[in-house]
Amino acid sequence: MRQRRWIEFLKDYDCEIQYEPGKANVVADALSWQPGKGMILAYLQVQPYVIDEVKGEQASIGVTPFEALYGRRCRLPIHWEEPGDKRILGSEIVKETTEKIKLVHENLRVARSRQKSYADQRRSALKFDEGDFVFLKVSPSKGTTRFRVKGKLKPRFIDPFEVLERIGEVAYRLALPPSFTEVHDMFYVSMLRKYVHDPTHVIEFEPLEIDKDLAT
């Protein structure tokens, strides 16, 4: 009975029906037990008259359905414009890109100028006179080797030292104690902090050891 049902369905098609008995027909026989599966294949096939109708509609309106619906051509990797339009479009892209680059450069210039003015307001050039006293900054990584200043909680600046003379624009010579004979007496201005004399300020000097094996 199942075969007769399929014969009635396929009789209108130009095809040849071959019946394979036994195990050779297991798959086809199993599919025949599932109702409605055979109709799916029939619906998925594009009928010739449908293609003719689509082509006829496109020819009558002169555009594709996508262009008729959205008002523009479908975007594809292939450029469909004429060569003349390409040149016009190319010049517009170059002009637009150039304007954007100029805008970026201008914004960078304004931002750089703003940062410079902000930094200049916060930055003050340190200048010391002969006879002034300054603190000497100890680097956390070098302090343990040069000045034997150990411990994370140790002060970052040691002593106040007297300024003997100015060397150039950014360096000063300090009066170091005899125990600092292994340390060069000239320091960059960024390593110094001015000491403001306060009579109530009592400084407790801690003994500093110099590593004599270091020549700096």
Strands 133-137 and 192-194: antiparallel
- Report which of 195, 210, 126 is spatially closest to residue 159, judged by C-alpha positions: 195
Are residues 194 and 132 part of one domain?
Answer: yes
> Of 123, 148, 174, which residue constitutes the final position of a domain?
123
Which DSSP state fits 54? H
Asked if residue 100 belongs to a domain, the reply is yes
Helices (H), 79-165: 83-122, 143-146
Are residues 188 and 157 part of one domain?
Answer: yes
What's the pLDDT tens digit per position in 72-117? 777 665 555 554 544 555 677 778 888 888 888 888 888 888 887 7
Are residues 140 and 194 part of one domain?
Answer: yes
| Whole-number pLDDT of residue 111 | 85
Helix%, strand%, coil% for the chain, nearest 5? 45, 10, 40
Measure the CA dihedral 42/48/54/59, to 10°.
180
Domain residues for the domain of 202 are 127-216
What's the pLDDT tens digit per position in 138-168? 765 554 445 555 556 666 777 788 888 888 7
Are residues 111 and 133 part of one domain?
Answer: no
Are residues 209 and 141 part of one domain?
Answer: yes
Are residues 119 and 131 part of one domain?
Answer: no
Are residues 133 and 213 part of one domain?
Answer: yes
Are residues 137 and 112 part of one domain?
Answer: no
Asked if residue 163 belongs to a domain, the reply is yes
Asked if residue 64 belongs to a domain, the reply is no
Asked if residue 53 belongs to a domain, the reply is no
Residue 174: CATH number of its domain: 2.30.30
Are residues 118 and 161 part of one domain?
Answer: no
pLDDT at 56 over 60: yes
* Number of domain units in the chain: 3
pLDDT at 174 over 80: yes
> Of 66, 98, 123, which residue constitutes the final position of a domain?
123
Are residues 131 and 171 part of one domain?
Answer: yes
Asked if residue 19 belongs to a domain, the reply is yes
Mean pLDDT is lowest, of 51-60, 120-129, 149-158, 203-212, for 203-212
Asked if residue 73 belongs to a domain, the reply is no
Are residues 135 and 187 part of one domain?
Answer: yes
Q: Looking at residues 14-31, what average pLDDT do you find?
A: 66
Please give the backbone phi and psi of residue 163, each rounded to the nearest 5 degrees, phi first.
-80, 120
Are residues 193 and 132 part of one domain?
Answer: yes
